[in-house]
Chains A and B, each alone.
Chain A
Protein backbone atom coordinates (compact mmCIF):
# COMPACT_ATOMS: atom_id res chain seq x y z
CA UNK A 1 0.00 0.00 0.00
CA UNK A 2 1.78 3.15 -1.16
CA UNK A 3 0.83 5.64 1.46
CA UNK A 4 2.95 8.65 2.30
CA UNK A 5 3.20 9.53 6.00
CA UNK A 6 3.13 13.23 6.84
CA UNK A 7 5.20 14.08 9.91
CA UNK A 8 4.45 17.15 12.00
CA UNK A 9 5.25 18.59 15.39
CA UNK A 10 2.81 18.13 18.27
CA UNK A 11 0.57 21.09 19.05
CA UNK A 12 -0.28 22.52 22.43
CA UNK A 13 1.28 22.04 25.84
CA UNK A 14 2.00 18.60 27.21
CA UNK A 15 -0.71 17.45 29.60
CA UNK A 16 0.14 17.45 33.28
CA UNK A 17 -1.32 15.37 36.09
CA UNK A 18 -5.11 15.54 36.09
CA UNK A 19 -5.17 17.09 32.66
CA UNK A 20 -7.07 15.35 29.87
CA UNK A 21 -6.55 16.49 26.33
CA UNK A 22 -8.53 14.64 23.69
CA UNK A 23 -9.58 14.95 20.09
CA UNK A 24 -13.07 14.22 18.79
CA UNK A 25 -14.12 14.18 15.18
CA UNK A 26 -17.10 13.10 13.12
CA UNK A 27 -17.12 12.17 9.45
CA UNK A 28 -20.49 11.78 7.71
CA UNK A 29 -21.02 9.06 5.14
CA UNK A 30 -23.53 10.95 2.99
CA UNK A 31 -21.93 9.99 -0.30
CA UNK A 32 -22.53 6.28 0.35
CA UNK A 33 -26.06 6.91 1.67
CA UNK A 34 -27.00 8.84 -1.47
CA UNK A 35 -25.30 6.29 -3.71
CA UNK A 36 -27.17 3.44 -2.00
CA UNK A 37 -30.53 5.18 -2.39
CA UNK A 38 -29.77 6.08 -6.00
CA UNK A 39 -28.96 2.43 -6.70
CA UNK A 40 -31.77 0.73 -4.74
CA UNK A 41 -34.77 2.87 -5.68
CA UNK A 42 -34.47 2.23 -9.45
CA UNK A 43 -34.05 -1.49 -8.70
CA UNK A 44 -37.28 -1.39 -6.71
CA UNK A 45 -39.14 0.32 -9.53
CA UNK A 46 -37.74 -2.03 -12.16
CA UNK A 47 -38.68 -5.01 -9.98
CA UNK A 48 -42.40 -4.20 -10.22
CA UNK A 49 -44.24 -7.08 -11.96
CA UNK A 50 -45.81 -6.06 -15.26
CA UNK A 51 -49.22 -7.59 -14.44
CA UNK A 52 -49.18 -6.99 -10.69
CA UNK A 53 -50.17 -4.03 -8.60
CA UNK A 54 -47.90 -1.71 -6.66
CA UNK A 55 -49.07 -3.52 -3.52
CA UNK A 56 -46.87 -6.44 -4.59
CA UNK A 57 -43.95 -4.21 -3.86
CA UNK A 58 -44.91 -3.78 -0.20
CA UNK A 59 -42.58 -6.49 1.06
CA UNK A 60 -39.54 -5.43 -1.03
CA UNK A 61 -40.19 -1.82 -0.03
CA UNK A 62 -40.36 -2.82 3.63
CA UNK A 63 -37.10 -4.73 3.34
CA UNK A 64 -35.52 -1.76 1.60
CA UNK A 65 -36.73 0.59 4.36
CA UNK A 66 -35.28 -1.69 7.03
CA UNK A 67 -31.96 -1.90 5.20
CA UNK A 68 -31.78 1.89 4.84
CA UNK A 69 -32.75 2.35 8.51
CA UNK A 70 -30.08 -0.10 9.65
CA UNK A 71 -27.60 1.63 7.39
CA UNK A 72 -28.48 5.04 8.87
CA UNK A 73 -28.20 3.70 12.41
CA UNK A 74 -24.85 2.02 11.89
CA UNK A 75 -22.98 3.45 8.90
CA UNK A 76 -24.22 7.02 8.42
CA UNK A 77 -21.20 8.46 10.20
CA UNK A 78 -17.99 7.58 11.99
CA UNK A 79 -17.16 9.33 15.25
CA UNK A 80 -13.66 9.13 16.67
CA UNK A 81 -12.18 10.06 20.01
CA UNK A 82 -8.43 10.03 20.65
CA UNK A 83 -6.71 10.65 23.95
CA UNK A 84 -5.57 8.97 27.17
CA UNK A 85 -8.19 6.25 26.69
CA UNK A 86 -6.74 5.35 23.30
CA UNK A 87 -8.58 5.71 20.02
CA UNK A 88 -12.27 4.80 19.90
CA UNK A 89 -14.35 4.53 16.75
CA UNK A 90 -18.16 4.74 16.94
CA UNK A 91 -20.53 4.02 14.08
CA UNK A 92 -23.78 5.75 13.19
CA UNK A 93 -26.50 7.30 15.30
CA UNK A 94 -26.31 4.72 18.08
CA UNK A 95 -22.52 4.65 18.27
CA UNK A 96 -22.57 0.93 17.57
CA UNK A 97 -20.62 -1.04 16.71
CA UNK A 98 -17.79 0.50 18.69
CA UNK A 99 -14.10 -0.36 18.66
CA UNK A 100 -11.43 0.94 21.03
CA UNK A 101 -7.67 0.68 20.54
CA UNK A 102 -5.96 1.26 23.91
CA UNK A 103 -2.75 3.31 23.96
CA UNK A 104 -0.64 0.32 24.95
CA UNK A 105 -1.70 -1.46 21.75
CA UNK A 106 -0.77 1.49 19.53
CA UNK A 107 2.83 1.45 18.39
CA UNK A 108 2.62 4.48 16.14
CA UNK A 109 0.03 7.06 15.04
CA UNK A 110 0.53 9.09 11.90
CA UNK A 111 -1.19 11.02 9.13
CA UNK A 112 -1.16 9.52 5.67
CA UNK A 113 -2.45 10.56 2.29
CA UNK A 114 -4.97 7.84 1.47
CA UNK A 115 -5.43 7.09 -2.20
CA UNK A 116 -8.97 6.90 -3.59
CA UNK A 117 -8.77 3.18 -4.42
CA UNK A 118 -8.05 2.32 -0.76
CA UNK A 119 -11.23 4.01 0.55
CA UNK A 120 -13.52 1.42 2.17
CA UNK A 121 -16.68 3.58 2.10
CA UNK A 122 -17.40 2.43 5.66
CA UNK A 123 -15.86 -0.60 7.33
CA UNK A 124 -13.45 -3.10 5.83
CA UNK A 125 -11.22 -5.69 7.44
CA UNK A 126 -8.32 -7.77 6.24
CA UNK A 127 -5.80 -9.72 8.34
CA UNK A 128 -3.32 -6.86 7.90
CA UNK A 129 -5.56 -3.80 7.96
CA UNK A 130 -8.82 -2.54 9.45
CA UNK A 131 -10.28 0.38 7.57
CA UNK A 132 -12.90 2.88 8.77
CA UNK A 133 -12.58 5.22 5.82
CA UNK A 134 -15.11 7.38 4.01
CA UNK A 135 -12.93 9.50 1.73
CA UNK A 136 -9.47 9.86 0.31
CA UNK A 137 -6.89 12.40 1.46
CA UNK A 138 -5.46 13.01 4.92
CA UNK A 139 -6.31 10.00 7.09
CA UNK A 140 -5.35 8.80 10.56
CA UNK A 141 -3.28 5.60 10.54
CA UNK A 142 -2.58 3.56 13.65
CA UNK A 143 0.10 0.92 13.52
CA UNK A 144 -0.63 -1.58 16.28
CA UNK A 145 1.86 -3.79 18.05
CA UNK A 146 2.05 -6.89 15.90
CA UNK A 147 1.93 -4.89 12.67
CA UNK A 148 -1.83 -4.59 12.15
CA UNK A 149 -2.82 -1.26 10.61
CA UNK A 150 -5.97 0.76 11.34
CA UNK A 151 -7.14 3.53 9.02
CA UNK A 152 -9.72 6.06 10.25
CA UNK A 153 -11.29 9.01 8.45
CA UNK A 154 -11.35 12.02 10.79
CA UNK A 155 -11.79 15.72 10.00
CA UNK A 156 -8.38 16.66 11.46
CA UNK A 157 -6.05 13.63 11.57
CA UNK A 158 -3.08 15.78 12.66
CA UNK A 159 -4.97 16.79 15.82
CA UNK A 160 -5.87 13.15 16.48
CA UNK A 161 -2.22 12.12 16.19
CA UNK A 162 -1.21 14.94 18.54
CA UNK A 163 -3.79 13.80 21.10
CA UNK A 164 -2.41 10.25 20.98
CA UNK A 165 1.21 11.41 21.22
CA UNK A 166 0.45 13.75 24.14
CA UNK A 167 -1.34 10.97 25.99
CA UNK A 168 1.57 8.59 25.41
CA UNK A 169 4.05 11.24 26.58
CA UNK A 170 2.00 11.86 29.73
CA UNK A 171 1.90 8.14 30.45
CA UNK A 172 5.66 7.91 29.98
Chain B
Protein backbone atom coordinates (compact mmCIF):
# COMPACT_ATOMS: atom_id res chain seq x y z
CA UNK B 1 0.00 0.00 0.00
CA UNK B 2 1.01 3.61 -0.43
CA UNK B 3 2.20 5.70 2.50
CA UNK B 4 2.65 9.44 2.19
CA UNK B 5 3.89 11.77 4.90
CA UNK B 6 4.90 15.39 4.69
CA UNK B 7 7.62 16.33 7.15
CA UNK B 8 6.87 20.02 6.64
CA UNK B 9 3.13 19.71 7.28
CA UNK B 10 1.47 21.04 10.43
CA UNK B 11 -0.20 17.71 11.13
CA UNK B 12 1.98 15.45 13.26
CA UNK B 13 3.76 12.57 11.57
CA UNK B 14 2.03 10.15 13.93
CA UNK B 15 -1.40 11.31 12.75
CA UNK B 16 -0.31 11.24 9.12
CA UNK B 17 0.83 7.63 9.44
CA UNK B 18 -2.39 6.67 11.23
CA UNK B 19 -4.28 8.41 8.42
CA UNK B 20 -2.44 6.29 5.83
CA UNK B 21 -3.61 3.12 7.60
CA UNK B 22 -7.19 4.38 7.75
CA UNK B 23 -7.04 5.25 4.06
CA UNK B 24 -5.68 1.78 3.28
CA UNK B 25 -8.54 0.19 5.19
CA UNK B 26 -11.10 2.37 3.43
CA UNK B 27 -9.70 1.60 -0.01
CA UNK B 28 -9.56 -2.13 0.66
CA UNK B 29 -5.76 -2.31 0.44
CA UNK B 30 -5.68 -3.38 4.10
CA UNK B 31 -8.33 -6.04 4.66
CA UNK B 32 -9.03 -7.61 8.08
CA UNK B 33 -6.10 -9.75 9.18
CA UNK B 34 -3.56 -7.98 6.99
CA UNK B 35 -0.17 -7.53 8.62
CA UNK B 36 1.33 -4.05 8.70
CA UNK B 37 5.04 -3.48 8.02
CA UNK B 38 7.29 -3.69 11.09
CA UNK B 39 7.74 -0.27 12.69
CA UNK B 40 11.50 -0.22 12.10
CA UNK B 41 11.18 -0.93 8.37
CA UNK B 42 8.40 1.62 7.88
CA UNK B 43 10.28 4.22 9.92
CA UNK B 44 13.40 3.79 7.78
CA UNK B 45 11.44 4.07 4.54
CA UNK B 46 9.54 7.17 5.68
CA UNK B 47 12.59 8.72 7.34
CA UNK B 48 10.84 9.06 10.69
CA UNK B 49 11.67 7.80 14.15
CA UNK B 50 10.62 4.24 14.98
CA UNK B 51 8.76 5.50 18.05
CA UNK B 52 6.62 7.73 15.82
CA UNK B 53 5.42 4.70 13.88
CA UNK B 54 4.86 2.75 17.09
CA UNK B 55 2.84 5.64 18.51
CA UNK B 56 0.66 5.66 15.38
CA UNK B 57 0.17 1.88 15.62
CA UNK B 58 -0.73 2.18 19.33
CA UNK B 59 -3.20 4.96 18.56
CA UNK B 60 -4.93 2.72 16.02
CA UNK B 61 -4.86 -0.20 18.45
CA UNK B 62 -6.56 1.96 21.08
CA UNK B 63 -9.20 2.82 18.47
CA UNK B 64 -9.77 -0.90 17.91
CA UNK B 65 -8.47 -0.89 14.34
CA UNK B 66 -5.26 -2.84 14.98
CA UNK B 67 -4.22 -5.68 17.23
CA UNK B 68 -0.72 -6.59 18.34
CA UNK B 69 0.36 -10.23 18.52
CA UNK B 70 3.69 -11.39 19.83
CA UNK B 71 5.93 -12.34 16.96
CA UNK B 72 3.31 -11.47 14.36
CA UNK B 73 3.42 -7.69 14.48
CA UNK B 74 0.45 -5.39 14.02
CA UNK B 75 -2.57 -6.64 12.15
CA UNK B 76 -5.86 -5.15 11.06
CA UNK B 77 -8.57 -6.43 13.41
CA UNK B 78 -11.45 -8.50 12.19
CA UNK B 79 -13.80 -6.11 14.01
CA UNK B 80 -12.49 -3.07 12.16
CA UNK B 81 -15.36 -1.05 10.75
CA UNK B 82 -16.35 -1.85 7.19
CA UNK B 83 -15.69 1.35 5.28
CA UNK B 84 -16.57 -0.02 1.85
CA UNK B 85 -19.96 1.85 1.78
CA UNK B 86 -18.07 5.11 2.32
CA UNK B 87 -15.63 4.23 -0.45
CA UNK B 88 -18.46 3.37 -2.83
CA UNK B 89 -20.29 6.59 -1.99
CA UNK B 90 -17.09 8.59 -2.51
CA UNK B 91 -16.53 6.95 -5.89
CA UNK B 92 -20.10 7.80 -6.87
CA UNK B 93 -19.53 11.38 -5.73
CA UNK B 94 -16.36 11.68 -7.82
CA UNK B 95 -18.22 10.35 -10.87
CA UNK B 96 -21.10 12.83 -10.42
CA UNK B 97 -18.65 15.68 -9.86
CA UNK B 98 -16.79 14.85 -13.09
CA UNK B 99 -20.09 14.70 -14.96
CA UNK B 100 -20.84 18.23 -13.77
CA UNK B 101 -17.38 19.50 -14.64
CA UNK B 102 -16.05 19.79 -11.08
CA UNK B 103 -12.29 19.27 -10.72
CA UNK B 104 -10.42 17.73 -7.81
CA UNK B 105 -9.75 21.06 -6.10
CA UNK B 106 -13.40 22.15 -6.28
CA UNK B 107 -14.56 18.79 -4.97
CA UNK B 108 -12.13 18.87 -2.04
CA UNK B 109 -13.22 22.43 -1.21
CA UNK B 110 -16.87 21.37 -1.30
CA UNK B 111 -16.22 18.47 1.08
CA UNK B 112 -14.27 20.72 3.42
CA UNK B 113 -17.19 23.13 3.54
CA UNK B 114 -19.58 20.31 4.39
CA UNK B 115 -17.45 18.70 7.11
- A residues sitting closer than 8 Å to B (CB atoms) are 12, 15-26, 79, 81, 83-85, 88, 90, 93, 95, 156, 159, 163
Assuming the A-B contacts A26-B37, A95-B41, are A20 and B2 also in contact, with contact meaning beta carbons closer than 8 angstroms in the complex? Answer: no
- The complex places the Cα of A66 from the Cα of B45 at a distance, in Å, of 32
Assuming the A-B contacts A79-B41, A81-B41, A90-B41, are A24 and B3 also in contact, with contact meaning beta carbons closer than 8 angstroms in the complex? Answer: yes
Contact B7 A20 (CB under 8 A): yes
With A18-B8, A19-B5, A90-B41 known, 6 other A-B pairs at CB within 8 A are A16-B6, A19-B6, A20-B45, A21-B3, A24-B42, A95-B41
- The complex places the Cα of A86 from the Cα of B45 at a distance, in Å, of 9
Given B4, B6, B7, B45, which contacts A85 in the complex, CB threshold below 8 Å?
Answer: B45
Which residues in A have their C-beta under 8 angstroms from that of B77? Answer: none
- The complex places the Cα of A74 from the Cα of B45 at a distance, in Å, of 21
Which residues in A have their C-beta under 8 angstroms from that of B1? Answer: 23-25, 156, 159
Which residues in B have their C-beta under 8 angstroms from that of A25? Answer: 1
Given A16, A17, A81, which contacts B45 in the complex, CB threshold below 8 Å?
Answer: A81
Given B2, B44, B47, B71, which contacts A93 in the complex, CB threshold below 8 Å?
Answer: B71
CB-CB contacts below 8 Å: B29-59 with A: 29, 35, 37-38, 40-42, 44-47
Q: How many A-B residue pairs have CB under 8 A?
A: 69
Assuming the A-B contacts A81-B45, A93-B71, are A21 and B4 also in contact, with contact meaning beta carbons closer than 8 angstroms in the complex? Answer: yes
- Which single residue of chain B is at the shortest CB-CB distance from A19? B6
Given B2, B5, B71, which contacts A163 in the complex, CB threshold below 8 Å?
Answer: B2
- B residues sitting closer than 8 Å to A (CB atoms) are 1-9, 29, 35, 37-38, 40-42, 44-47, 71
CB distance from B60 to the nearest CB of A (A): 16
CB distance from B73 to the nearest CB of A (A): 9
What are some 5 contacts across the A-B interface (CB < 8 A)? A18-B9, A20-B46, A95-B40, A156-B29, A163-B2
Contact A19 B4 (CB under 8 A): yes
Contact A26 B41 (CB under 8 A): no
Which residues in B have their C-beta under 8 angstroms from that of A20? Answer: 3-7, 45-47
Contact B3 A22 (CB under 8 A): yes
- Which single residue of chain A is at the shortest CB-CB distance from B1? A24
